[in-house]
Amino acid sequence: MTKLLLRALAGETLSTPPIWMMRQAGRYLPEYRATRAQAGDFLSLCYNPDLAAEVTLQPIRRYGFDAAILFADILLIPQALGADLWFVTGEGPRLSTVTSAADLARLRPADQIDERLAPVYETLAILSRELPRETALIGFAGAPWTVATYMVAGRGTRDQGPAHRLKDEDRETFSALIAMITEATIHYLSRQIEAGAEVVKLFDSWAGSLKGRDFDDFALAPARRIIAALKERHPDIPVIAFPREAGERYIGFAKATGADCVALDNSVEAEWAARAVQVDGCVQGNLDPRHMVTGGPDLVREAQRITRALRGGPHVFNLGHGITPDADPDNVTRMIDAVRSA
């Protein structure tokens, strides 16, 4: 029996969409917090295959989602390329910065990242053995633009200003950084597939801050390059692209990049997406994550509205962004029940 997620990604319209959540393995779950404490810190958890597999499996055991997504972090790629990476409690990631051609020259080639990332591949191998037969396994990476914003700034920023400045002032160096991340991402995702991933997702969390030619050059073109290379190596593996807050640029993104599915953030209406985006194939999304905190009738109503709006084509139900640490675990059950009864 083909897994529900794979059927939707292949373009099948299902009476009930497959369901999973971005960040479904995370701090809103008490069992995750216990495992995180056992690991000692976030990066140790990412690089411990047994514990990373355990936190990936926890929401599957609790909720029976149709897919599990590898527990890792988008910044493992910069670290594998040679950037220093550490996490500050309560503040998030910090990296050594790449702001010049000299900084770029000190990074490793894209095909020399496997020694650092081997534990991630082992996590996928464990999951491919231990997941229920009906549950699809998703691998992922950050898209080049989003990863570059962290590498240039050395941390997350509200407006991605440092990356925009480097892009505008030294486009040649910035383009070379994007190209390096792109090639590393192709290698990384290909290795994830070889380790057991049945689907891969490309997270471009900051795509919405790119406009015009910049969107074409640094969001669309790298996604197209990555997807084309993956399809050449692994033609049967579907790819989900998430150019978050792309707005009108969601239109035609699947055709332009070769993505099998376009994930939508919650700033766009599902009814609009059905007319403008779903006509090209599968869409994923897009419940506002705040409903996982507030719950109540609004959660049920919105989950069912989205399900019904996108019922005319292939759809994967998800949030419009990751579930937040203050979410109520019981609201996840309410969401799943609402979608399946819509």
150 belongs to the catalytic site: yes
Catalytic residue among 27, 33, 155, 305: 27
Task: Check residue 218 and report its DSSP letter.
Answer: I
Phi-psi region of 269 (alpha: psi -120 to 50; beta: other; left: phi over 0): beta
Strand order in the sheet with 261-263: 67-69, 136-142, 199-204, 239-243, 261-263, 282-287, 315-319
Residue in 7, 28, 32, 36 annotated catalytic:
36
> What is the DSSP pairing of strand 85-88 with strand 92-95?
antiparallel
Cα angle 36-23-43, degrees, rounded to a multiple of 5? 35
Residue 314 CB neighbours (<10 A)? 22
Contact 200, 141 (CB under 8 A): yes
Active site residue 7: no
Closest CA to 111 of 81, 82, 78: 81
Does residue 36 carry a catalytic annotation? yes
Active-site hit among 28, 47, 63, 150: 150
For the range 45-52, what are the long-range contacts, defined as Cβ-Cβ under 8 Å and sequence gap of 24 or more?
45/71, 46/71, 46/72, 46/73, 46/76, 46/119, 46/120, 47/119, 47/120, 48/119, 49/119, 49/120, 49/122, 49/123, 49/125, 49/126, 50/126, 52/119, 52/120, 52/123
Please give the torsion angle defined by the CA atoms of residues 18, 119, 53 and 185, in that order, rounded to the nearest 10 degrees.
-20
Among residues 23, 191, 249, 334, the one annotated as catalytic is 23
Of the candidates 184, 32, 29, the one whose C-alpha atom is nearest the C-alpha of residue 98 is: 184
Annotation marks residue 47 as catalytic: no
> Which residue among the candidates 33, 73, 94, 214 is catalytic per the annotation?
73
Q: Are 266 and 250 in contact (CB under 8 A)?
A: no
Residue 18 in contact with residue 329, Cβ under 8 Å? no
Query: Is 236 among the residues known to form the active site?
Result: no
Q: Which residues are catalytic?
A: 23, 27, 36, 73, 150
